[in-house]
Amino acid sequence: MTRPRAASDRFVAQLPDRIRSQVEIVHSPLLEIKPMAVPVETDDTAGLIFSSANGVNSAAMLDVDRTLPAYCIGPATSDAAIAAGWNAQMAGLTAEELITNLTHTPPPGPLLHLRGEHSRGGIAEHLTRSGLLTREQPVYRQQLLPLSDEASLAGESDRPVIAPLFSPRTARQFADVWAGTAPLWLIAISAPTAEPLNSLASEQLKIASEPTPDKMQKAVKKLVKHVMRVEGKSGAD
């Protein structure tokens, strides 16, 4: 598991018991999320955009105005925003869908996109260009991390390794730091996430049918069953 530990634990806990019993869970977070102690001005803002639960959590720590409506990417981000006290709605499964939906049915503006220091999609730029004034502000940093010792050891074994990747930046880091010789089976949450993984010698690279935790869980379940059949092993890392 390459996500920060809390997110990985939530993901694993939602897998069926029979799947968890067939694998050894190895944790190797490749990003460390660090909220930024910055002021967030919302006096001229009519709504917020959240593209990740990390943005929601950082905004909550900064006590950003909870009376503003929030437009979110994906169900996990929407659920996190609602749990934190915002009147939130999912505006798309991807940045592209959010831009399209908010452009076709624009909410009152201006909007403020609270994001990580490294961000894809150009949400604020695209929305502003379409006529919906949107500014952006980083509220957390994403520090890259090396593979954990446990993950490096797993890569040196002859047991199959299944690695779910949840973002393009994490996938790029995984491609850069992976030096294992174990049979490698990869799952990417989206096509952009899969792109940097093409440089790795893997048995299979599967892309989730939608960029959601639910579809990633289904992809993991299917791949675990497939690997067990193909490899004929008693377990996988």
Whose structure tokens read 């919906």?
132
Q: Is the pTM of this model over 0.85?
A: no
What is the rounded distance in angstroms from the CA atom of residue 83 to the CA atom of residue 170?
26
Check whether the bond before 35 is cis (ω within 30° of 0). no
Give the pLDDT score at 119: 79
Amino acid identity, position 210: E
Summarised one tens digit per residue, pLDDT across range 149-185 is 999 999 999 999 999 999 999 999 999 999 999 999 9
Instruction: Note whether 36 and 102 are within 8 A (CB).
Output: no
Taking 60 as the threshold, does the pLDDT of residue 10 lie above it?
A: yes
Summarised one tens digit per residue, pLDDT across range 31-62 is 999 999 999 999 999 999 999 999 999 999 99
What are the strands of the beta sheet with 184-188, ordered from one edge?
A: 161-165, 184-188, 204-207
Amino acid identity, position 200: L
Q: Which residues pair with 92 in a beta bridge?
A: 73
Whose structure tokens read 């294992």?
180
What is the rounded distance in angstroms from the CA atom of residue 159 to the CA atom of residue 153?
11
Range 67-84 average pLDDT: 96
Which is nearest to 144 in space by CA: 2, 22, 36? 2
What is residue 233's three-state secondary structure?
Answer: coil
Residue 211: burial class (beta carbons within 10 Å; 0-12, 13-18, 19+): buried
Summarised one tens digit per residue, pLDDT across range 99-132 is 999 999 999 999 999 999 987 779 999 999 999 9
What is the rounded distance in angstroms from the CA atom of residue 59 to the CA atom of residue 85?
11
